[in-house]
Each structure stands twice: as C-alpha cells, then as structure tokens.
C-alpha cells in the first residue's frame, strides 16, 4: 500500500503526520509531495535562504515519519491558477501509483491550499485515462482520496484515524520545522510563541478528535463523496 | 453477543431482519421483543383473531431468522404515554442482557413507534442503575443502541450493515407475515398487492442502501449520538 | 375537497387564513377546529368572560373566511398530556372526513401548540384503522397534513400557497379578534399596539414568503415527511 | 439581574458553573434549582443516604459559586411525565423572577434531563400569564432561556460565555461533588477515575469552546429560537 | 418552449434523457450541446477514431430523443479553465434562445463537468446583456437553469420530473452509446459489464427518484437558488 | 478604524450602505473599492458614456455615506479569471490598511461577483506576507472579513448590524444611482420600475433582517470561518 500526501507548504503534513507514521510503521510506503518550499513563511529570512532551510526541515520531518519527500518547486503564495499544476500531478500520480491520497479539500479558503487540493483531486482522476498520453502509463484504479483542512462551507469530518500511539513521533516530526515555531499563527501578535504552546494546541486538537471517535488521540479527514462503507457487524468492542 | 430488537408490531423487524439473520448465522444470540401483537393491522379480521394469527406469523418469521420472540401485550395503536412501558422494558433489558439494541428512533412519526423507541432507549440507560431496584439486577454497560425508522426531522443513516448474503432469508422471513401481504400500505388504495410488489420494494431499498455503502445489499441505521468510531487505517479493500 | 384546520387558540388560524379563504372561495369546504377558547389570552378580562368573547370573535373570523368552527373545550394553557385529545380528534377526523389537515408542527415550542400538533397528526393516522372502533367509521385515506409554526429544530418550509388575492380577507378576518389587538405579543412591553402595527407585521411576513416563492403574497407550510412531488414539466411560466 | 439554573441532578450545574460564578462575581443573583437530589447516582451508597450526601455536596458547590440552591424533591431517574413538574416550576419562576434561565435543551436524550428542560421552558412561558392563578403573581417578561446538553438532533451552540477567569472556581466547585468522582461516567468500566482525569476532560471541553470562540476558556449554550442579535458594530477588538 | 441541455461528454445527457424525450414528445424543441466528443472515454480505441464513433452514437441517441445536437469541439479531459468556453456559450445561448437550460451543477467534482456547469450558468446571464456585443443579439430573459450531478457539498434535489412513460426511450437512447457499455464505470475493475447491468442501475436510480416523489420513475434536478414556487393549492391528487 | 468595501459594480455597496454610513457617522474611515465602473449595466446607454455616468453616481452615493471611492477599471461582465485582480488588491489592502473588509462571499453565482470576493479574500491574506514584495509594505494583521451576497450553497448570515438610524441615508445614497432605477432587475419584464418599488424591496429586506435580529432595520453578513465570539454575559437588554 502506498500513501501519498500532497500539500502546499512544508509542515502542512502535520495535519496527517500521525497517520503517515502509522502507515510506515505498519510496513506501508508513504510519500510527501510538497508543491512549494514555503519561501514566504517567515518575517525576516530572505525567500531563497528560507527555501533552503525549510527543504531541510521537511526532509528531517519526513525521515522521522518514515516517508519520502518530493518538491514540485512552485512558489509559496503563488501556486498558479490554471492547469499546469494538475498536469504535473498527473505524472506524479502515475509515477507514485498511490492507493490512498491525502490532500487539502478543494474548497478551503487559501488559494495555495485550494489549488493544490483541486489539482490533486482532478489529477487522480486524469491519471487513470489511458488515452491521455504523458511520460507515464495510466495508473488505475483512481486512488481513494481523503481530505483535510476547513472548507468555506462546513463539511463534516467522516473518517477518524486512531493515532494514539503516534503522538510522540507526530510531535517530534513537527519540531523539525524550526523556522515555523516562532511565528506559527501569522494572524496574531508578534511575540514569539514557544514550541510548548504549539504542542499544546496540537495535543488539544488530536484529543478532541479522539473524544469524538472514542480513542485517546485521532486525526480526522473528509472522504470524497462522503462515502459510507457497509460493515459486517455493528462497531462494538465487547 | 446478544442482539435485541425492540419493535411495536409484528413485521417491524423486517427493517433489520437481514442483520438479525447475519448475527444468528454467525453464532450470536438474537431476541425480538414485540410490544404489541398487531391486533389492528387489518381491515376485516377481528382484533383477537388477528392477534393470534400475527403471533404465529411472528414466531415463524423469527424462527427463520434464528431469533427468539417475546411479546409484551400492549394493544396495537394504543401503546400508552407515560412510564409503564419503560419500566417493563427495564426488566426486559436486565433479563436479556443485550450487547446491542435495535429500536425505532425516538423521534419517528407514529405514536406506537415513537413511544417504543423512547421507552427502549431510556430503559437501556435505567437498566444499568444499581440503586434502581426491580426484579432483576442492574445490567451494565448500557448496550449500544442503533435506530431504524424515519424521524420527524431528517437524521442521517450512519451505520450500514452488509446483508448481501441474507436477502433470501430476509425475504422468506417477511413472507411469513401473510396477513400483511394484501394491505401492506394502509394509506393507499384497497386493491390487493401481491407479495411480489412488496418484495420488489424491499429489494429496491436494500439495493439503495447497498449503493450508498459500496455493497450489493445493505440495511441502514442511525447510531445514538451519531457517534464516530476511529479506525486503524483508511477503509480501503485493496 | 374538505380542508380542516386544527389549532389551539382562536387566532391561530391567522397563519393559514389566506389559504382557507382561497379554498372556500374556490368552492371547497373548510372547518376550523379550536381545542380551546383561549381563556387565558388577556391581562384583565376574566377567563370565563374572555372565552365567551373569543368564541364570538372566532366565529366572526371564520365567517369571513367562509369556514365552519368547532370548539373542543380544553382549557387555554392546559391542553393535557396523554391521549385524551388524540382520541377526541380521531372522531373529529372520522366525522369531518378531511382531505387536507393544517395543524401545528409536532415539535413547536409551546405545550398547547405541540400537543395539538402531535394529537392531530396521530389522530389522522388512527382515524383510518377499521379495527379501532369509535362512534364513527374509519376515514380513509389518511389526509395530507401540512404544518405551520416554528419547530424547536429548524425545519424548512416546503410548500408555499399564493394568497395574493386573499390578503384583504386575511386582514379583515384577523381584525375580528379584537381582544388580541392590544397585547398581541405577550413577551413584550405593556403599551398598546394598534392594529396597524400587527397588520404591518402580517403583511411583511406574507410578502417575505411571497418573495421566497415568486408571488406577491404567500403563506408557507411544512409537508409531513418533507415529501417531494414529481412534476410533469419544469415550473416555468413562459 | 437574577440568573436561575434549573437542572435534574446535583453536578448538572457544572455545565454552566463558570458562567454562574461570573454572574455572582459581578454582583448578580444566582439560584440553582435541582429537581432531584441524585439518589441513584452511585453504585453502593443507599439512596436515602446518597441524597443526604449529595444535598450537602450541592450546597458546598453552590456556596463556592455564590449561588442559592433549591431542591424540588423528585426522585432521581424518576422525574415524571405529565404536568406536575411544570406546574411546580411555574411557581418557582414566579417566586424567583429570573431574568435568565439556564436549563437542559428539551430534546436531550435522558428522560430526567429532557423532562426538566421541557417543563422549565414551558413554565417560563406559563408563569407570565396573569389569568393562570397560582400562589404567586405572574412574572413578566418571559426570561431569556439558554440551553445546555446534547439534543437528539444536532443543534448548534450559538452563545459562548468567556469563563477564562473562572476556571479555578469552576474546578473547586465541581470538586465538592465527592460522591461523583469515582464513577463519573457510568457507561464505562468499574475502575476508579481520579479527580485529575475528570478535571482534564473539563479543561479540554472549556478550552475547545474557547478555541471556537476566540478566548482561553468558554462555556457554550443554545439560545431558544436560535435568535440572532443585531450588533452596533462588527465584533473586532482592535 | 426550447429546452437546451449543455453537457461535457456524449452520454452525459442520460441524466436528463427522459425529461428531454418528454419535452419533445409534447411538441417542444430540444437541443443537446456537447462541449467535447468524448475522445478519451475508452481504453483502446484511439482518440480520433473514438471521437468519430461517439459523435455518431450521440447523434443516434439524440434522434431517439427527438433532439438536435451541437458539438463545441473541446477536448475530452481538457475543457479549459478561463473564459473561452463561456464566451462561446454566450453565443450558443443567444442563438438557441432557450427557455430552460439543463447543465452540470457548477460545484461537481470533475473539472470537465464543473467547467461546463460554471460556463453555462454564467453564459446564460451574460447572454442577456445588450451592451455585451457578440455575433448575436442579447437573449432575454435569462433562462431557468436546472442542474444535475453531485456537488462537492451536498445540495438537495428539489425538482423531480415524472418520466414514467419515457423509460423505454431513455433506455433505447442510452443503448446507442455502444462504446460506453463495456467500461461504464472506469473506477472499477476491467471486466466487461453487459448493458443489462447498466440498465439495472439506471432503472434503480429512476425508481429511487420516483419513490422520493410519488411516481413510478423520475429524474431529479437542483434549481438555481433553490427557488421555491408558490402553488395555487396544496399538491393533492384527489 | 478603517472599513473597506470591495465590490464589482457601482450600487453593489447598497448591500452594506447602512453599515458604512454608521461607521463614518461614528468617526471611522470608510473606502469603497469598485473593480468596474458598471459599463454594461444598461439597455441603451453606450458603455463608455455609461461608465462616466455611473462613476459620477457612485461618487455622489459615496459622498452621502461619508466614504471615499476607488475604481480599479476592470470591465463590467469581464472581471478576469486568474490572479491579476488579486495582485492589484494586495496593494490596495497594503495601501488602505483596513481593519474590516466587506466583500462578496467567494461562492456567489455571478462570475464578476465571485471573482471579486475570491480575490479580495485572498488579497487580505497575501497583503500580510513580508516576503511578498510589492509597491507597499506588508499590512498586518489580516483584516476581519465579512461577506454579503447569496452563495451557491446556503451559508447562514451570522452577523447583523443595526442600521435603524441609517435607513434614510441608505435610501438617499441608493437614489444617486439614477441609471439603475429603471431596469433594476434585468431578469424581469421591460416596463420601468419606479424608485418607490425598489425602495419598498430594500425596506422589506432590512426589516426582515431586523426582525431576525431584534431591531427595527438591519444589514446581515457572513463572517469568514463562521467564527463565534465569546461574550462576557448573555445578550439581554434588561
């Protein structure tokens, strides 16, 4: 099984890092595709230097998760409209042959995120068309796609993954993104925010998803089509 | 594992009969609790005779499902308001010790159905209180409750059980309710409706739930609290 | 066609009075069933006298609408829990033989309103059971039920009736409820509110429903089951 | 301003205790009305003794919140159907003259809770009717009612109260309910759960509501009618 | 009356073919506008040959429905972003002068479908602007638009058209798309799927919409703005 | 405090004009940014002349509201796809330094409106990035954004501003858009519609929002993220 995460900026994978770690710990393959190197995610470090720094941070974080990393080299805050990204992702999908794709919901607020989510979703479909000729052969079937992020219109999370045993690796992996500790939330004030505060918020969210789904800690996703799956028996643990 | 179905009229169990059959076929215990004998569900047969007939039909249907039957002897179209039914169901629950209870959603339209759903739901909770003394000892934990029926306000089905292999037994079991073939839908015209037509509608509905959940045929339920369950991995079959 | 309105207090029919007037103006029969005489809907007039006054007001209002009136003589703010009202309404339905019933949605906030809505809805169903013996014979089929009022949980209005030509009669009919002009909205302050202010609000609401449904003035209802009706062609007026 | 909390079992007020403490700390009056003494909320202590214990606990907790307590002496797990509780609450409302009432949403799952919420809501309305004669005079206007609890059908929380400065008193107040520490969640296993675990969950929930509403810690309620309030300016803190 | 269907790939019209057939059978005009010839909808037939084949299939299918066909010659899986398609559709609308337009909901998942739905919706509006000069004069009023397809966020079907008498022509019309029988659902396995299986699913869906709307077979659409239409009387058939 | 309105066509600001007037009347600064001069919003006046006329009308309207106006000179019915408008708005935001931005919801139906709403929303975010170098320095924090308009998928209005005292200025301001009186609603028939009719509809809508939020007249908006704000006390006026 190959799990492919498609995001926009290094550290976007934090939404799903417990799940990624769980897959690799269970013998599956995981690849993180980042469409930019996050060259505008700081207040002072110049973009080029920042890209170098964040590339390294992303590689360290991925290593801890047991995942490969691929960068597509679009520019942060400049993921383009149009079909170029989608065309490129068709070949990424054909090459990586994912069973599962994790990406932004195509209706989230920020353009970088929305465009990555839209392009990734459509690329998964187009990658399966034999008559669409590119460098690689068609990949079938279309992977199952699970979305993270908060859409402009409320969409319910409908798949929760138990990551109780992967919270340490999730935390350690995030800690590699050192350039992002100080100014985590750019909408707020300028004072530095220590790693502990970020960790507390990450713990809170994973615990909240855990409370909603009956485990200690969880990550939550939206399935494409909100598709229900029939069970063999009622989900009871007794 | 003990699955207990709590309904109002013989043939109410048809909503869940594939699931009941699946549980018993897999070595679990199942009991059908009917709060009335359906003495008003006909146009001509007098109530007392009808109760005798439908009791027999219910017993035949349950036998095919591999389930026991218990009747509580309330009157059809007269399940009472108040707490009497609830008190009686507390002892039913304490006696049967269910792991799973299937019953009407407490907000469905018809009083008989609504009152059975409300009483059954509350009885499951009250049955677990040690300081509530009745003929039987407290039963803990509170069983998982799954609802069927169409509430007055839309509530989404969130648990689908694959019954593809139990459609024959579902059909055969329903066929025992011979008194209900001719005038299945009392709101419509008087002409007789052959069993085939009812079967077609049952097949359609199970197929619809199957299409919604990725299998051939399914039955669909609402969980109390709409509770999500965390998974270990994404639900993919590859 | 017989349209039966079942309400709790004289002037409840105002929610539907344009529709009632339209039906009678088109040759249909209409009956207004009031379960109380509104004996507590004032600040000073003693209950018994108030009941006499409001009975007269209701009769005048109904006359203008071309409808009959029946009172059931429960007490205002004391419509009882339990099944007595429902049993009485079964015979009302069997006697009046309605094709359409208008009543409160069974989940509105106030007990008088909720209990009338619940009892009326269930009575329509029970009235059709031949084996339920009462003074009258069973009435079939179950009438179509349309609800007014604001449920505790939002339920969308899904049927709009064009009453543009019946706004005058709607206004004149309401004006008969003279005891209700002064203290229309009991939750607000004590100052008298002239009829003009109430009329303005009634006009506003009918206009709002009109804007929502493409006509000048409308009344809006919720159908039981939120049932859709297939059309022969798309609803276009060209 | 008089804030009246109407609950079913001692410790129900914990849902709102930060808010209660905030009101009393700001010079307002607060009264906690408990319809039972919680005589069935334990596994071993006999009911009568338990009622004495929990009465004391409730009084200590209320004292810390700066609130008065009134008990109505219904039996735990036996709050009755029908109108008796409602009639009693009419006089409670007329006597206490609340500006604001906090109670269970009338559509929550457990009968004790649901019946208290339904009766309290209706009592607030009936208390304002001058022609309804009881021991006390009518109280007007109808208080604003805010609900807590989780209804059977999802209803969004729409009013958040910032209790960041009242978390200590909220915790200390809850700690008085010593009989409830050990077996807090009766649906789960028998092992004792230390106060710390309960506190962690309370903190988590208040923090979650805080995150949803932009403060450190909050309590969340549903307003009757989901009523919006117009503002003078956009809610911005700059 | 002129009904114009605007789709992306030959056989997209199947969603609405019963409705199209009904309109033409009742003396109305119908035109099917296909923005591509479906040149990538197969596993082996080369695109150019496939386009020729599917053009013929589409023409046969349209003939059976009594409708004209127009192709716009965009490429399958390559309907472009930007405004070119919209500009072209403005002239299609101005030329065809539709009263009713059927097209994809602008928020469906696949780019080809979404872009056609977005462009068609906006083109209907722009076509009515006199100051927007193109080859044709402005067409007014803006046609009524009804959508098919499954949006990324649930949108309720709100218009059902009874096609009970047009199921045969719907089936026969679909059967013309011979190139699409074998690999109808490209997300699934490679085995051939006989026409019978596709027909069974089409019948199931039309029957499901029929059950939802009270007729034998129906097609279902979403109106723009979810617009309600006031009725003269309640929709009852008695 | 600086309130910036970003719209597509002169008179779009009418949705928010009472709010704008209220802010300026209270000593705040307000700027109206119009991305086009509305050169296609008429049936006969040629575009260039129309642009000159509507520019003047907009300036008069803004003067009455106490607001500045800026035009961006895109063409009516031709606001482009792609990122050009967004890039331009980044500098508008950096230059104007708004605290609050009012714009179209990014999911409304018409392309001009949708593209303005999308670009304005994203521009507010991008304007705060220091590493994104443009003519102006970064503006932080990201302004609070409130949306008007009707999205393709229902989104609830969640912020109401009381404009009861600004209805006269709202009306007078709208009256300046003389070119828009005659053919206000282009989807309807050709007859002229006097200003009075438009005023009646504006009054109706403001009154409707007022009724929904407990004041005489209100304007209603959607906050980004549907964000709740914790209150200090329950919103009661007593």
Task: List the pLDDT tens digit at each of the 238 positions of chain A.
Answer: 999 999 999 999 999 999 999 999 999 999 999 999 999 988 889 999 999 999 999 999 999 999 999 999 999 999 999 999 999 999 999 999 999 999 999 999 999 999 999 999 999 999 999 999 999 999 999 999 999 999 999 899 999 999 999 999 999 999 999 998 765 444 455 445 678 889 999 999 999 999 999 999 999 999 999 888 999 999 865 4
Contact E142, E124 (CB under 8 A): yes
pLDDT of residue B186: 46
pLDDT of residue B192: 52
Within 13 A of D72's CA, how many CA atoms are on the CB side?
Answer: 29
List the single residue in A with minimal CA-CA distance to F138. A43
Instruction: List residues of chain B with CB under 8 Å from any CB of chain A.
Output: 1, 22-23, 26, 99-100, 144, 146, 157-162, 209-210, 212-215, 218, 221, 227-236, 238
Distance between CA atoms of E82 and B25, rounded to whole angstroms? 58
Arithmetic mean of pLDDT, F206-226: 96
Distance between CA atoms of C182 and C204, rounded to whole angstroms? 19
Do at least 3 CB pairs under 8 Å connect C with A? no
pLDDT digits (tens, 9 = 90+) for D66-77: 999 999 999 999
Do at least 3 CB pairs under 8 Å connect D with E? no
Of the candidates C132, C121, C125, which has an alpha carbon nearest to the alpha carbon of residue B75? C132
Burial of F195 (0-12, 13-18, 19+ CB in 10 A): middle
Q: How far is E158 from chain A (nearest CA, A)?
A: 19
Distance between CA atoms of A144 and A48, rounded to whole angstroms? 35
Distance between CA atoms of D126 and D93, rounded to whole angstroms? 9
Percent helix, percent strand, percent coil in chain D, to nearest 5:
40, 20, 40
List the single residue in F with minimal CA-CA distance to A77. F126
Cα separations (Å) of E69 from B98, C210, D130, E12, E32? 62, 39, 73, 13, 5
Arithmetic mean of pLDDT, E200-211: 97
List the single residue in E with minimal CA-CA distance to C147. E234
What's the whole-model pTM score? Answer: 0.95
Q: In the structure encoding, which two tokens stand for residue B15, read together?
A: 């909503």
Q: How many CB atoms lie within 10 A of CB C200?
A: 12
Q: In chain D, what residues touch F231 (CB-CB under 8 Å)?
A: 159-162
Distance between CA atoms of D67 and B230, rounded to whole angstroms? 41
Q: In chain C, what residues touch B39 (CB-CB under 8 Å)?
A: 131
Share of chain B above pLDDT 70, in %: 94
Q: Using CB atoms, which chains have 3+ pairs under 8 A with D?
A: A, B, C, F
Low-confidence ranges of chain C (pLDDT < 70): 182-193, 236-238
Instruction: List residues of chain D with CB under 8 Å from any CB of chain A.
Output: 201, 204, 207-208, 211
Cα separations (Å) of E222 from A113, E99, E154? 29, 16, 11
Contact F65, F110 (CB under 8 A): no
**C to F CB pairs, distance under 8 Å:** 10
Of the candidates C46, C35, C101, C102, which has an alpha carbon nearest to the alpha carbon of residue C70? C35
Q: Residue B191 pLDDT more than 90?
A: no
Is F159 in contact with D227 (Cβ distance < 8 A)?
no
pLDDT of residue B193: 61
Q: What are φ and ψ of residue B231, in 5° steps?
A: -105, 165
Of the candidates F142, F146, F140, F173, which has an alpha carbon nearest to the alpha carbon of residue F159? F146
Q: Which residue is listed with tokens 């206007």?
A: D141
Of the candidates E75, D58, E63, D190, which has an alpha carbon nearest to the alpha carbon of residue A83? E75
Is E131 in contact with F42 (Cβ distance < 8 A)?
yes
Cα separations (Å) of E117 from B214, C14, D98, D157? 28, 43, 55, 36
DSSP H helical segments within C107-185, as ranges? Answer: 111-126, 167-175
Prior bond to D141 cis, omega within 30? Answer: yes
Question: What's the length of chain F?
Answer: 238
Of the candidates C82, C154, C148, D75, which has an alpha carbon nearest to the alpha carbon of residue B115? C82
Q: Would you give the DSSP letter of residue A213?
A: H
Do at least 3 CB pairs under 8 Å connect B with F? no
Q: In the structure encoding, which two tokens stand for residue F12, read together?
A: 């779009």
Q: What are φ and ψ of residue E109, in 5° steps?
A: -75, -50
- The SS3 assignment for B9 reads coil
pLDDT of residue B238: 44
Is A213 in contact with B230 (Cβ distance < 8 A)?
yes
Q: Work out the angle at residue C174's Cα, subtended by the Cα atoms of residues C170 and C176, and round it to the nearest 5 degrees.
A: 130
Of the candidates C36, C155, C197, C28, which has an alpha carbon nearest to the alpha carbon of residue C96? C28
**Segment holding D160, helix H or strand E:** strand D159-162
Q: In chain C, what residues touch F201 (CB-CB under 8 Å)?
A: 211
Cα separations (Å) of E66 from E9, E19, E26, E122? 19, 11, 11, 27
Distance between CA atoms of E36 and E149, rounded to whole angstroms? 18
Do at least 3 CB pairs under 8 Å connect B with D? yes
Q: Which of A1, A26, A228 is the best residue to mutate to test the B interface, defined by the most B CB atoms within 10 Å of its own CB?
A: A228
Q: Using CB atoms, which chains have 3+ pairs under 8 A with A?
A: B, D, E, F
Is B109 in contact with C121 (Cβ distance < 8 A)?
yes
In this complex, the residue of D109, D110, D153 whose CB is nearest that of residue B155 is: D153
pLDDT digits (tens, 9 = 90+) for F100-159: 999 999 999 999 999 999 999 999 999 999 999 999 999 999 999 999 999 999 899 999
pLDDT of residue E81: 93
Q: In chain F, what residues touch A154 (CB-CB under 8 Å)?
A: 226
Is E82 in contact with F82 (Cβ distance < 8 A)?
yes
Is E111 in contact with A141 (Cβ distance < 8 A)?
no
In this complex, the residue of F126, F142, F155 whose CB is nearest that of residue A77 is: F126
pLDDT of residue E192: 52
D168 CB-near residues (< 8 Å, 6+ apart): none
Average pLDDT score, chain B: 93
pLDDT of residue F182: 66
List the single residue in B with minimal CA-CA distance to E209. B208
Burial of B44 (0-12, 13-18, 19+ CB in 10 A): exposed
pLDDT of residue F206: 98
Phi-psi region of C236 (alpha: psi -120 to 50; beta: other; left: phi over 0): beta
Q: Using CB atoms, which chains have 3+ pairs under 8 A with B?
A: A, C, D, E
Contact C162, E232 (CB under 8 A): yes
Strand-pair partners of D101: D4, D145
Instruction: List residues of chain F with CB under 8 Å from any CB of chain A.
Output: 81-83, 86, 106-107, 118, 121-122, 125-126, 128-132, 140-142, 151, 153, 155, 224-226
Share of chain D above pLDDT 70, in %: 94
Distance between CA atoms of A144 and A155, rounded to whole angstroms? 18
Do at least 3 CB pairs under 8 Å connect A with D? yes
Instruction: List residues of chain E with CB under 8 Å from any CB of chain B.
Output: 201, 204, 207-208, 211
Is F150 in contact with E225 (Cβ distance < 8 A)?
yes
Of the candidates A106, A113, E225, E227, which has an alpha carbon nearest to the alpha carbon of residue F149? E225
List the single residue in A with minimal CA-CA distance to F141. A187
pLDDT of residue E227: 81
Q: In chain F, what residues touch D231 (CB-CB under 8 Å)?
A: 159-162
pLDDT of residue F236: 65
Q: Which of D109, D113, D150, D185 is the best residue to mutate to test the B interface, defined by the most B CB atoms within 10 Å of its own CB?
A: D109
pLDDT of residue D228: 87
Q: What are φ and ψ of residue B124, in 5° steps?
A: -60, -40
Helix axes E47-65, E167-175, angle to 10 degrees: 160
**The pairing of beta strand F100-104 with beta strand F29-36:** unpaired
Cα separations (Å) of A238 from B55, B99, B143, D150, D193? 33, 8, 10, 25, 21
Within 13 A of F232's CA, how many CA atoms are on the CB side?
Answer: 4
pLDDT of residue A228: 87
In this complex, the residue of E82, E129, E226 whose CB is nearest that of residue F77 is: E129
Q: In chain C, what residues touch D226 (CB-CB under 8 Å)?
A: 154
Q: What are φ and ψ of residue C184, in 5° steps?
A: -60, -50
Q: In the structure encoding, which two tokens stand for residue C150, read together?
A: 């604001």
Q: Categorize the per-residue pLDDT at B183 as very low, low, confident or very high, splitting at 50, 70 and 90.
A: low
Contact B210, B159 (CB under 8 A): no
The 3 state secondary structure assigned to chain F is CEEEEEECCCCHHHHHHHHHHHHHHCCCEEEEEEEECCCCCCCCCCHHHHHHHHHHHHHHHHHHHCCEEEEEEECCCCCCCCCHHHHHHHHHHHHHCCCEEEEECCCECCHHHHHHHHHHHHHHHHCCCCCCCCCCCCCCCCCEEEEECCECCCCCCCEEEECHHHHHHHHHHHHCCHHHCCCCCCCCCCCCCCHHHHHHHHHHHHHHHHHHHCCCCEEEEEEHHHCCCCECCCCCCC
pLDDT digits (tens, 9 = 90+) for E57-106: 999 999 999 999 999 999 999 999 999 999 999 999 999 999 999 999 99
Q: Residue F14 pLDDT more than 50?
A: yes
In this complex, the residue of E22, E146, E213 whose CB is nearest that of residue C228 is: E213
Q: How far is F205 from chain C (nearest CA, A)?
A: 8
Distance between CA atoms of A146 and A161, rounded to whole angstroms? 11
Of the candidates B205, B200, B206, B198, which has an alpha carbon nearest to the alpha carbon of residue B167? B206
**Segment holding D69, helix H or strand E:** strand D68-74
Distance between CA atoms of C159 and E236, rounded to whole angstroms? 12
Of the candidates A148, A168, A173, which has an alpha carbon nearest to the alpha carbon of residue A158? A148
List the single residue in C with minimal CA-CA distance to E231. C161
């Amino acid at each position: 099984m190959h799990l492919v995460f498609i995001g926009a900026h290094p550290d976007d994978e934090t939404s799903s890092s417990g799940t990624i770690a769980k897959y690799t710990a269970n013998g599956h393959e995981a690849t993180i595709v980042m469409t930019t190197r996050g060259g505008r995610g700081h207040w002072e470090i110049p973009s080029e230097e920042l890209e170098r720094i964040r590339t390294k941070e992303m590689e360290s974080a991925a290593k801890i998760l047991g995942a490969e990393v691929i960068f597509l080299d679009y520019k942060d805050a400049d993921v383009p409209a149009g079909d170029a990204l989608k065309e490129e992702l068709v070949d990424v999908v054909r090459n990586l042959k994912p069973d599962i794709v994790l990406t932004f919901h195509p209706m989230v607020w920020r353009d970088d995120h929305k465009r990555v989510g839209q392009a990734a979703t459509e690329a998964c479909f187009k990658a399966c068309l034999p008559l669409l000729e590119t460098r690689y052969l068609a990949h079938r079937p279309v992977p199952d796609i699970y979305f993270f992020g908060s859409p402009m219109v409320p969409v319910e999370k409908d798949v929760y993954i138990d990551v109780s045993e992967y919270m340490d690796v999730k935390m350690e992996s995030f800690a590699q993104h050192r350039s992002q500790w100080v100014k985590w939330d750019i909408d707020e004030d300028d004072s530095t925010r220590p790693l502990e505060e970020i960790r507390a918020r990450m713990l809170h969210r994973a615990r909240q998803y855990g409370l909603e789904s009956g485990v200690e800690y969880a990550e939550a996703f939206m399935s494409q089509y909100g598709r229900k799956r029939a069970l063999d028996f009622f989900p009871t643990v007794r």
